[in-house]
Structure 1
Amino acid sequence: MEVIPIANRKDVAKLAGVSEATVSRVFNQVGPIREETKTKVLEAAAQLNYYPNAIAQSFAKGKSNNIGVIVPYLPKVRIMSTHYFSELMSGIGAMLGEMGYGLLLLFQSPDEPKDYVQLFRSQKVDGLIILGSKNATGEVEALTRLHELQLPYCLINQTYTGHLFHSIDANHVQGSLEAVSTLIKQGIEQIIFLNGPLEYSNSSERLEGYCLALEQAGIVKNTDYIFQGNYSRKSGYKIAADIAPYLSTCKAIFAANDRMAIGLMQGLQDLGYRATVDYLLIGYDNSEMSRMTTPSLSTVNVPLFDMGQLAAKKILQLISQPTDTFINERLPVTFIERQSSRWGQSPSN
């Protein structure tokens, strides 16, 4: 995709036939300016789709005291009822409430054109926290504009190779490495991995951790054992039929989130396979449902609430003290062992 160059103050000055200093005075509202000159500058800026870095200063004069939180809109999915989004939102809301800021929830369709800057330009928000971002058409370009203009924003649980976007994340490579290594230590070498879409960086990182665990144990990776769902319980249930034939040789499964793991467990049970009897299973995220399954689900705890809090804190710091410093923090994860990763009664019983 062709990336459209971002216009700068010099471009506006040239098109309007004025000096760069005049452009600055128009946008900063400094000193007397002829109405005709002001109109020429604003029309040139609109024609070039130019948003000045100084826009942040204008917001400081009249802040909305709202932080926008962008979440993906998925038809027929109650996204806020999921452990992942509810924990992140709780952490964000707790920090913003403590600091006297409001939270403006903004739903965005995956196919909707991305224009994060417009949310600032309309002065709806003083900062943006972006959830559910993925490596898709238009996303990198929209984030690049946001970053170039030095507007306060932060991604959660998504990074982009080759781009220095502000982000708060967790150590997913280490999390999946520890989970898979736990299974290998029990003498299991053939391990199935049920991953999410690779357009999410955390899926790529969990795959990296899975491969690293095999490599460290001297086990050759078999791509036939790698499956892909979409992080929903339904996708885990559906893929059970594809995984079941491998359970004669593969005695363990690692799923990239709890929802898929639980759906998979239910699907395999309907096909006559029992967790801890015919196979071992580990999920990821440490959702509430992981403690309620039978057997209880071993998983990897991701500090989602803390990630939300930290992202909100960083946004408020960017608003009060703009900086060129790149924000990239990763919080540690912890393996939680429960019944599903330990053998129960023997399959012969």
Structure 2
Amino acid sequence: MNACTFFCLEVNILANRKDVAKLAGVSEATVSRVFNNIGPIREETKHKVLQAAKELNYHPHAIAQSFARGKSNNIGVIVPYLPKIHLISTHYFSELLSGIGAMLGESGYGLLLLYQSQDEQKDYVKHFLSHKVDGCIILGSKNAKGEIEALEKLHQLNLPYYLVNQTFSGYPFHSIDAEHDQGSFQAVSSLVSKGHERIIFLNGPLEYSNSTERLKGYREALLFNGLEPNSSELIFQGNYSRKSGYQAAAQIAPLLPKARAVFAANDRMAIGLMQGLSEKGFQAGHDYALIGYDDSELSKMTSPSLSTVKVPLFEMGQLAAQKVLHFISHDILAEKNERLPVTFIERESSKL
């Protein structure tokens, strides 16, 4: 390597906007306008700047460039903060976040994870101001005090956002969801087809729209098959945790001799229930039929393997990110609400 070669390489590595401006014979402000696509610029000037940058191997700093354009190229993903609960490690949140991250990464955007305490006053607009995000995706939203007001404010300002797996009847909020009533209908109908007429339902909190939709599907399946849909003694409520499923075993065990089928609103509760009932001498797939919901990795590893309903969580995350990015770039929404189909998967736990 001769002295000239070394000198040229060193210049390329250290090149900055000032060097590009000097070589192109323009001001630094003009260089900035070219790379940030701001204002009218003569084609001849633009060509000179780009040619100089190419010769110097100059690349504008991505963060500085985004601030110059008034954008951060970050999408905020808002998740609930629950002490002592590692939400991100659960199948539900990890799949959604993986889908969101995959789409954002393909599009050159970053993912900014924003935790929100359950006791904290809801204010989604503040994230656009304090964290400078270009859009936001809201996970774990529920029909609780202050939630609708915060979403109405966000919606009225026409800021790019999407809810995932939560809808609010009667409100025009943007959302990506799944056909949970159909998933519940499929699961319960499968149990009915095997001769089960009294089916226990372990649901989640009704402040989540997917819980009310699963309850709707459960009742519709019973009614469709000529069975009583309103037997409250067969309906229980957990909080979607494995612990709540385990605790529900104490109430459900006494019913099993006459009601030998259970549908749980997610796999975590189903697995907890399976463990709790096992300790009381009842084995899934032998003494009772059991179906979960979500098709988590754990559902394939239990013994017996857990029948479940597959929810396309990864795809829901992808679609939410895609919609927000489309909103940012086009300032318009083609479709405000979309629901993806779910699929019942039969395994050993319900083959009774």
Query: In which range does the TM-score fall when normalised by the shorter chain?
Result: 0.7 to 0.9
Match of 2:155 in 1: 147
Q: Which residue of 2 aligns with 1:182?
A: 190
- Contact 1:92/1:312 (<8 A) preserved: yes
- Cα distance in structure 1, aligned partners of 2:333 and 2:276: 49
For residues 121 and 145 of structure 2, the distance between their equivalents in structure 1, rounded to whole angstroms, comes to: 9
Q: Distance in 1 between matches of 2:335 and 2:80?
A: 25
Deviations 1:192-226 (A, max 9, x none): 00000000000000000000000001101211100
Q: Is the 8 A contact 1:244 1:268 kept in 2?
A: yes
Match of 1:138 in 2: 146
- For 1:340, the aligned partner's letter is S
Structure (1 or 2) with the larger CA radius of gyration: 2
Determine if contact 1:64/1:123 at 8 Å carries over to the other structure: no
* TM-score calculated relative to the size of structure 1: 0.80
Which residue of 2 is the match for residue 313 of structure 1? 322
What is the rounded CA distance, in whole Å, between the counterparts of 1:169 and 1:128 in structure 2?
16
Aligned to 2:45: none
2:211 counterpart letter in structure 1: S
Secondary structure (helix, strand or coil) at the match of 1:63 reads coil
| Number of the residue aligned with 1:248 | 257
What are the superposed Cα offsets for residues 231-277 of structure 1, whole Å, 9 maximum, x if unpaired?
00000001100000100110100000000000000000001111111
Q: Runs of 5+ in structure 2 lacking a partner?
A: 1-66
Query: Within the alignment, does 1:96 sit opposite 2:100 as a pair?
Result: no
Could you tell me which residue of structure 2 aligns to residue 224 of structure 1? 233
**What does 1:26-105 correspond to in 2, within 5 Å?**
61-105=69-113
SS at match of 1:248: coil
- The structural deviation recorded for 1:123 is 5.1
Give how far 1:185 is off. 0.3
Corresponding residue for 2:270? Answer: 261
8 Å Cα contact 1:165/1:326 also seen in 2: no
- State the match for 2:116 in structure 1: 108
Task: Name the % identity.
Answer: 69
- Contact 2:326/2:333 (<8 A) preserved: no
Amino acid at match of 1:328: N
1:111 positional shift: 1.4
Q: Kindly tell me the number of residue pairs found equivalent between the two proteins.
A: 286
1-side partners of 2:89 and 2:125: how far apart? 29
Q: Distance in 1 between matches of 2:341 and 2:81?
A: 29
Match of 2:36 in 1: none
Question: Does residue 163 of the first structure (1) align with residue 171 of the second (2)?
Answer: yes
| Paired letter, 2:348 | Q
Task: Judge conservation of contact 1:74–1:109 (CA < 8 Å) in 2.
Answer: yes
- Choose the corresponding residue for 1:125, options 130, 133, 146: 133
Aligned amino acid, residue 125 of structure 2: V
- The DSSP-based 3-state class of the residue aligned with 2:177 is strand
Q: Cα distance, 1:60 vs. partner?
A: 9.3
Question: Which runs of 5 or more residues in structure 1 are unaligned?
Answer: 1-58, 344-349
User: Shift of the alpha carbon at 1:122?
Assistant: 3.0
After TM superposition, give the deviation of residue 327 of structure 1 in Å: 0.9
Whichever residue aligns with residue 235 of structure 1, its letter is: S
Structure 1 runs (4+) deviating above 4 angstroms are none
1:289 alignment counterpart: 298
Deviations 1:159-206 (A, max 9, x none): 001101000000000000000000000111000000000000000000
SS at match of 2:256: helix
